[in-house]
């Protein structure tokens, strides 16, 4: 969430910047500042009341020692009133602070100055494109038909077991899925990321820490009896490893990678653009997360973008990179680059990765800090990226590598799969 001091100092700048998200943040900002002023006034009253109570307690002790019990008892009656006042002020302060926190949670991150204005994904800015789009035969099939033809993914069986959006991978389809996970993790660890295995359920504090709550509460699967949430991405548990931590400045850069299944309820829609692997409620993803010194976070973001580029080059998939506009930018992100792979059989681009810098927005929620060169606590910057999300990468491989004799396996994956063709 936004830092209170920054809101106080840069109110107008924040309101103007949030217009890129097509929101009028002025009412929320004014509410924050009003609550903050009330909170500080209440805190002052509480401090004064406690100070007066402490002063009287000392005077009472001295009076008793001096044998002036009657005067001491008069003052004791005043301390009873002061204690009642302090309790009431404390309760009022807690209520104001909780209200202030809840309003701050409603305000999204301020977009980076490079974020273009825009209303939707149609206004995102293409900044890079690479790879040759293959020419397929006229009878080329989309991946959901290829999956059925070669019996490697069963969507209907998933519906039987669970429901729509929960596919079952079979045979070489399952092995290709496992190969991609291992390949992505190996690429990430070779680049200096430490592999982690993390829980697939998180508590409410973790959801608030990275900003999924309350913004995306309706999209998350909730285990009511235990008040736990199935993770929508490994970003949540991995980043929350640092909740309420003070890291050493010498520890930067902190780089972690993790494979997890991901669970997203998401509003359902219909049509070819959500068929097959295009949109799922459960899918596999390998994530990279960084905790950085604020001075280096945008250099780190560039490095993450280059890292994902290199993976897609090795897979030899045609892809492009988009800089998200304000209207399509995630709630917690300051700047996001989306990677899309071209699906030749569907004749459309499929999003397969988002790489984002959250600046101090998540760190403020997490209370993730570091000591600067002067020994002062500062908020770190957090970043994360998909490296990569498997369903649409797998869809791109099936469709772009299909031939009349079967589906070729990208050369870099053959050692992981143990086969070079699905037929």
Statement: residue 301 has pLDDT above 90? yes
Statement: residue 34 has pLDDT above 90? yes
| Residue 354 assigned as binding residue | yes
Residues 229 and 282 in one domain: yes
Nearest to 273 by CA among 348, 167, 344, 339: 348
Residue 382 lies in a domain: yes
Summarize the confidence of residues 406-422 as an average pLDDT: 97
Distance (Å, whole) CA 34 – CA 152: 59
Residue 115 lies in a domain: no
What domain range is 263 assigned to? 121-422
| Residue 384 assigned as binding residue | yes
Statement: residue 182 has pLDDT above 90? yes
Q: What is the CATH number of the domain that holds 64?
A: 1.10.287.40
* Domain boundary residue, one of 106, 129, 161: 106
Residues 70 and 138 in one domain: no
Q: Which band of pLDDT confidence, cut at 50, 70 and 90, is reported for residue 420?
A: very high
Nearest to 352 by CA among 383, 317, 324, 391: 391
| Residue 127 assigned as binding residue | no
Q: How far is residue 333 from each of residues 134, 250, 353, measured CA to CA in Å? A: 34, 25, 14
Residues 252 and 134 in one domain: yes
Residue showing tokens 């295995």 = 197
Statement: residue 376 has pLDDT above 60? yes
Residues 136 and 254 in one domain: yes
Residues 157 and 264 in one domain: yes
Residues 371 and 406 in one domain: yes
pLDDT in the model for residue 344: 87
pLDDT in the model for residue 8: 95
pLDDT in the model for residue 273: 62
Residue 114 lies in a domain: no
Computed over every residue of the chain, the mean pLDDT equals 94
By the 8 A CB rule, do 259 and 184 touch?
A: yes
Q: What is the CATH number of the domain that holds 337?
A: 3.30.930.10
Nearest 5°: phi and psi at 232?
-85, -15
Distance (Å, whole) CA 267 – CA 219: 8
With 0-12 / 13-18 / 19 or more C-beta atoms within 10 angstroms meaning exposed / middle / buried, residue 242 is buried
Residues 215 and 192 in one domain: yes
Statement: residue 139 has pLDDT above 90? no
Domains held by the chain: number: 2
| Residue 353 assigned as binding residue | yes
Q: Which two tokens stand for residue 304?
A: 């993450």
Q: Is the whole model's pTM more than 0.85, yes or no?
A: yes
Residues 178 and 95 in one domain: no
Summarize the confidence of residues 269-286 as an average pLDDT: 81
Nearest 5°: phi and psi at 16?
-65, -40
Statement: residue 240 has pLDDT above 70? yes
Nearest to 234 by CA among 285, 184, 177: 285
Q: Which band of pLDDT confidence, cut at 50, 70 and 90, is reported for residue 127?
A: very high
| Residue 265 assigned as binding residue | yes
| Residue 352 assigned as binding residue | yes
Determine if residue 276 is left, alpha or beta; phi over 0 gives left, psi from -120 to 50 gives alpha, anything else beta: left
Residues 161 and 220 in one domain: yes
Q: Within 13 Å and on the Cβ side, how many CA atoms surround 243? A: 19
| Residue 287 assigned as binding residue | yes
Residues 262 and 172 in one domain: yes
Residues 144 and 291 in one domain: yes
Looking at the DSSP assignment, which residues form a beta bridge with residue 384?
289, 356
Q: How far is residue 86 from each of residues 34, 36, 47, 249, 269, measured CA to CA in Å? A: 22, 19, 9, 40, 54
With 0-12 / 13-18 / 19 or more C-beta atoms within 10 angstroms meaning exposed / middle / buried, residue 139 is exposed
| Residue 269 assigned as binding residue | no
| Residue 264 assigned as binding residue | yes
Q: How far is residue 296 from each of residues 210, 303, 317, measured CA to CA in Å? A: 20, 11, 30
| Residue 97 assigned as binding residue | no
pLDDT in the model for residue 272: 53
pLDDT in the model for residue 181: 98
Statement: residue 72 has pLDDT above 80? no
The b/e string for 266-277 (b: 16+ C-beta within 10 A; e otherwise) is beeeeeeeebbb
């Amino acid at each position: 969430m936004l830092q209170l001091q920054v809101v106080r100092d840069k109110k107008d700048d924040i309101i103007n910047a949030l217009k890129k998200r097509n929101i009028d943040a002025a009412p929320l900002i004014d509410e924050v500042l009003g609550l903050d002023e009330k909170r500080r006034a209440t805190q002052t009253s509480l401090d004064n009341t406690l100070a007066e109570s402490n002063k009287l307690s000392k005077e009472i002790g001295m009076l008793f020692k001096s044998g002036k019990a009657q005067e001491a008892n008069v003052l004791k009656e005043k301390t009873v009133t002061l204690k009642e006042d302090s309790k009431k002020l404390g309760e009022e302060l807690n209520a104001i602070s909780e209200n202030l926190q809840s309003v701050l949670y409603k305000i999204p991150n301020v977009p980076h100055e490079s974020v273009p204005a825009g209303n939707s994904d149609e206004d995102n800015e293409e900044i890079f494109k690479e790879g040759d789009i293959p020419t397929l035969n006229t009878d080329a099939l989309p991946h959901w038909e290829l999956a059925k033809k070669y019996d490697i993914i069963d969507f209907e069986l998933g519906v039987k077991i669970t429901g729509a959006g929960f596919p079952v991978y079979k045979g070489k389809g399952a092995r290709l899925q496992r190969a991609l996970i291992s390949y992505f993790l190996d690429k990430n660890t070779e680049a200096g990321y430490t592999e982690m295995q993390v829980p697939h359920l998180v508590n409410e504090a973790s959801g608030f820490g990275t900003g999924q709550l309350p913004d995306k509460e309706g999209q998350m699967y909730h285990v009511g009896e235990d008040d736990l949430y199935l993770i929508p991405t490994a970003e949540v548990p991995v980043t929350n490893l640092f909740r309420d931590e003070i890291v050493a400045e010498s520890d930067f850069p902190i780089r972690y990678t993790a494979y997890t299944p991901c669970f997203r309820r998401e509003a359902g829609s219909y049509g070819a653009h959500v068929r097959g692997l295009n949109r799922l409620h459960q899918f596999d993803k390998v994530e990279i997360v960084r905790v950085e010194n604020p001075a280096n976070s945008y250099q780190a973001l560039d490095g993450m973008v280059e890292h994902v580029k290199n993976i897609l080059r090795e897979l030899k998939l045609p892809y492009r990179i988009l800089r998200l506009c304000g209207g399509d930018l995630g709630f917690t992100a300051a700047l996001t680059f989306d990677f899309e792979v071209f699906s030749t059989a569907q004749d459309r681009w499929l999003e397969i990765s988002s790489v984002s810098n959250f600046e101090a927005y998540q760190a403020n929620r997490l209370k993730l800090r570091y000591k600067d060169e002067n020994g002062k606590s500062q908020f770190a910057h957090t970043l994360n990226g998909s490296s990569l999300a498997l369903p649409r990468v797998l869809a791109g491989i099936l469709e772009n590598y299909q031939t009349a004799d079967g589906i070729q396996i990208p050369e870099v994956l053959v050692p992981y799969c143990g086969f070079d063709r699905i037929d």
